[in-house]
Amino acid sequence: MNRNRTGWHKVINGVNISGLFVVLFIVLPLYWLIITSFRNPSNLGSVQYWPNPWSGDNYAQAFKEYDFGSYFIHSVIVTLSATALVLIFGTMAGYALGRLPMRGKFTLMVTLLMISLFPEIAVIAPLYTLEKDLGWLDSYQGLIIPYTAFFLPFAIWILRNYMLGIPKEMEETSRIDGAGPIRTVWSIILPMALPGVFTAAIFTFTACWTEFLMALTFDINLKMIPVGIATFGTPNEVPFGTIFAASVVAVFPIGILVFIFRKFVISGLTSGAVKG
């Protein structure tokens, strides 16, 4: 009995130590990113574990010299629009695939999974030609629509799996009370599926916010944040402090969203892992 307890204690301690290394692996680069962004540009060549003195020159240079504010606004518009479309269509498709009788569900779900794993680079050339013919290059819809198409299948998977966990008795009770299908979905199903919706929203927002290839190809002048940061500096000079400052601003919205909705995200991921 004591040997079994000792064995379990070793396993738990090993898990705790592994978790500590994972946390340090994530936290230390973020710490170095933040403190470097607040260092004086003239001191970037020296090793400092704490800014002395603290300086906001890197942030001022990012917004004034490199026009980072326009990149940020452009990313907000594109990301929020694409995320909203993905949630609207993904919720309806997830409800249909998870709650309604339908032929060919398995084939459709496998197709969606294949689409979600399809590499962007394989279709970037024909998409560029199509957007050029439509006059969508350097436009909001030129990124919003491709982002919606690429990130919708994964959102459908998340939402469909979560819809499966909602008891059918809830719908039956709503129908007995005289509610129609739309009201049932809006008043009963959607509130219960909010953890799955928030999970899909976080993943879609992060994917759109950090996407690089399509943003680089379709938007030459209206740059998204990743493309804008990549253009900082000159061939002979790389402003690391300014890049770090812009990266901190770029990471901040994602960190806030994950922190606020962390319970919903964990619930949504857990539900998606156990429901088939």
Both 98 and 129 in one domain: the answer is yes
Instruction: Provide the CATH number for the domain around residue 246.
Output: 1.10.3720.10
Position 140 in a domain: yes
The pLDDT of residue 23 is 73
Position 276 in a domain: no
The pLDDT of residue 275 is 47
User: What are the beta bridge partners of residue 234?
Assistant: 237
Position 239 in a domain: yes
Render pLDDT for 18-77 as a digit per residue (tens, 0 to 9): 777 777 787 888 888 888 888 887 776 667 777 778 888 899 999 998 999 999 999 999
* 219 phi, psi to nearest 5 deg: -115, 105
Q: Which residue range is the domain that position 190 belongs to?
A: 66-270
Q: Indicate the DSSP class of residue 120.
A: G
Position 91 in a domain: yes
Tokens of 235: 């061939």
Position 26 in a domain: yes
Per-residue pLDDT of the chain (276 residues; tens, 9 = 90+): 445 555 555 545 556 777 777 777 878 888 888 888 888 877 766 677 777 788 888 999 999 989 999 999 999 999 999 999 999 999 989 888 888 788 888 888 888 888 888 888 889 999 999 999 999 999 999 999 999 999 999 999 889 888 887 777 777 777 777 777 777 777 778 888 888 888 899 999 999 999 999 999 998 888 999 999 999 988 788 888 899 999 999 998 888 887 887 776 666 555 544 444
- Measuring CA to CA, which residue among 241, 67, 14, 117 is closest to residue 75? 67
Both 199 and 157 in one domain: the answer is yes
The pLDDT of residue 79 is 96
Count the domains in the chain: 2
The pLDDT of residue 218 is 92
CA atoms of 100 and 88, how far apart (whole Å): 17
Position 233 in a domain: yes
Both 19 and 132 in one domain: the answer is no
Q: Please identify, among 59, 74, 89, the residue that sits at the C-terminal boundary of a domain.
A: 59
CA atoms of 69 and 77, how far apart (whole Å): 13
Both 40 and 72 in one domain: the answer is no
Both 154 and 26 in one domain: the answer is no
Both 134 and 251 in one domain: the answer is yes
- Measuring CA to CA, which residue among 70, 79, 56 is closest to residue 253? 79
Cis-peptide, bond into residue 53, ω within 30° of zero: yes
Both 85 and 221 in one domain: the answer is yes
CB-based contact 268:165 (threshold 8 Å): no
Position 1 in a domain: no
The pLDDT of residue 236 is 83
Both 17 and 90 in one domain: the answer is no
Both 34 and 70 in one domain: the answer is no
Both 39 and 131 in one domain: the answer is no
Both 178 and 261 in one domain: the answer is yes
